[in-house]
C-alpha cells in the first residue's frame, strides 16, 4: 500500500499471512517448512496517512500526505522516491502531479523508514511490492531497457508464479520487465533489487512488483468485495512458490566476488 488508493494490496498481504497460519495448523507440508525455516516480514501499509485520506476525503488519492515547501499541493508518490535511479524518468518534479518524486531521493519519512527497516533485517533474499491494478508480475528493471544480471532467473521465477496464479482461478497474469509497462525510477521494486549491495550479506534480492486484479480501469482500484478472497487465494499460491524458490536457490551477488 505505497499507493493509498490500492486497497486490495494491503488486504492481500493480510490474507497471505492468514492462509499461512491456517495451512500450518492443518499440517500442510510446504506451509510448515516455510514458516519453520524462513523469516517473513509483512508490511501491509507503508502509506498510512494517504490510506486514511482515501477513506475520509478522496477514494482515489495516491500519494502520501506530506506538505511540500513552496507549494499548496500535498504529498509525494512514494514509489518514485526511493534512492535508486531517482528522477531519471517516469516521475514528475511538479508537487501537484500524482507522480511527484519529491525534492530529493528518499526525502519522505515513509521511504526513509522502510529503507532503514530493510537494512536492519538484511540479508533479504526476496521482496514483493503489492500494487493494483492490471494483473502483472513485474521484475527489474523499470528505469532502463537493459536486462538485469539475473534476467533469466527472475523471468523463470515470474513464470512459475504466473502458472500458480492461473492454476488457482484461471486468472491470466502477464510476466514482464517493469520497463515493458512504462518507465519508473525511484521505485521500490528496483530499489529492493538494486539495494542488494555489500550490506545484504552476499545476496541480491529477488524483487517483484505485483499489479493485482482487475485488468482494466473498470472497476480499476475499486475492486468488488467478492473478488477480494479469490485474489488473495491466487496470490497466496504465488507467494508460496516465490518463498520456496528463493529459499532453495537465493541469488548470489556475484558483483561482490
CATH number, domain with residue 215:
3.40.630.10
Centre a 10 Å sphere on the Cβ of residue 15 and count the other Cβ atoms it contains: 19
**Predicted pLDDT at 197:** 66
The answer to whether 187 and 142 have CB atoms below 8 angstroms apart is yes
Q: Please report the pLDDT score of residue 194 as a whole number.
A: 87
Segment 2-17 mean pLDDT: 97
Q: Catalytic residue numbers?
A: 211
Render pLDDT for 158-213 as a digit per residue (tens, 0 to 9). 999 999 999 999 999 999 999 999 999 999 999 999 865 677 889 999 999 999 99
Q: How far apart are CA 32 and CA 38, in angstroms?
A: 10
DSSP for 145-209, please give it: SSPPTTHHHHHHHHHHHHHHHHHHH----EEEEGGGT----S-HHHHHHHT-SGGGTTEE-EEEE
Q: What average pLDDT does the segment 208-224 reach?
A: 97
> What strands, in cross-sheet order, belong to the sheet with 206-212?
126-132, 206-212, 136-139, 174-177
CA separation for the pair 83, 118 (Å, rounded) = 13
Cell of 191: 530499489
Asked whether residue 256 is assigned to any structural domain, the reply reads no
In a domain, 133, yes or no: yes
State how many domains the chain has.
1
Average of per-residue pLDDT across 61-88 = 97
**Inside any domain, residue 1:** no
Domain annotation covers residue 2: no
How many angstroms separate the CA atoms of 58 and 52, rounded? 9
The reported pLDDT for the residue numbered 196 is: 59
Helix (H, G, I), strand (E, B) or coil at 139: strand
Residue 67 lies in a domain: yes
Q: Going by C-beta distance under 8 Å and a sequence separation of 6 or more, which residues neighbour residue 131? A: 2, 3, 6, 9, 79, 209, 210, 211, 212
What pLDDT is stored for residue 257 in this prediction? 41
Question: pTM value?
Answer: 0.96
231: containing domain: 7-251
Dig out the grid coordinates for 184 from the structure: 519508473
Q: How confident is the model over 115-163, as pLDDT tens digits?
A: 999 999 999 999 999 999 999 999 999 999 999 999 999 999 999 999 9
pLDDT at 12 over 60: yes
Residue 184 inside a domain? The answer is: yes
Amino acid at each position: 500500500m505505497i499507493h493509498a488508493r490500492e486497497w486490495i494490496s494491503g488486504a492481500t498481504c493480510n490474507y497471505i499471512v492468514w492462509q499461512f497460519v491456517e495451512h500450518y495448523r492443518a499440517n500442510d507440508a510446504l506451509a510448515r517448512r516455510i514458516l519453520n525455516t524462513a523469516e517473513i516480514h509483512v508490511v501491509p501499509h507503508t502509506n498510512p496517512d494517504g490510506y486514511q485520506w482515501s477513506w475520509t476525503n478522496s477514494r482515489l488519492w495516491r500519494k502520501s500526505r506530506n506538505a511540500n515547501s513552496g507549494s499548496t499541493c500535498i504529498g509525494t508518490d512514494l514509489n518514485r522516491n526511493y534512492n535508486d535511479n531517482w528522477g531519471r524518468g517516469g516521475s514528475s518534479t511538479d508537487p501537484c502531479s500524482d507522480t511527484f518524486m519529491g525534492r530529493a531521493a528518499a526525502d519522505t519519512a515513509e521511504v526513509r523508514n522502510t529503507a532503514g527497516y530493510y537494512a536492519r533485517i538484511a540479508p533479504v533474499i526476496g521482496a514483493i511490492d503489492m500494487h493494483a491494478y492490471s494483473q502483472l508480475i513485474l521484475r527489474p528493471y523499470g528505469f532502463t531497457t537493459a536486462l538485469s544480471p539475473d534476467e533469466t532467473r527472475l523471468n523463470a521465477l515470474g513464470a512459475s508464479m504466473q502458472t500458480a496464479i492461473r492454476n488457482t482461478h484461471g486468472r491470466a497474469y502477464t510476466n514482464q520487465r517493469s520497463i515493458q509497462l512504462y518507465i519508473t525510477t525511484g521505485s521500490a521494486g528496483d530499489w529492493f533489487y538494486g539495494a542488494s549491495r555489500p550490506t545484504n550479506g552476499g545476496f541480491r534480492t529477488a524483487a517483484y512488483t505485483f499489479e493485482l486484479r482487475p485488468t482494466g480501469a473498470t472497476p480499476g482500484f475499486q475492486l468488488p468485495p467478492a473478488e477480494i478472497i479469490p485474489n488473495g487465494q491466487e496470490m497466496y499460491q504465488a507467494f508460496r512458490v516465490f518463498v520456496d524458490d528463493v529459499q532453495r536457490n537465493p541469488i548470489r551477488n556475484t558483483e561482490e566476488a
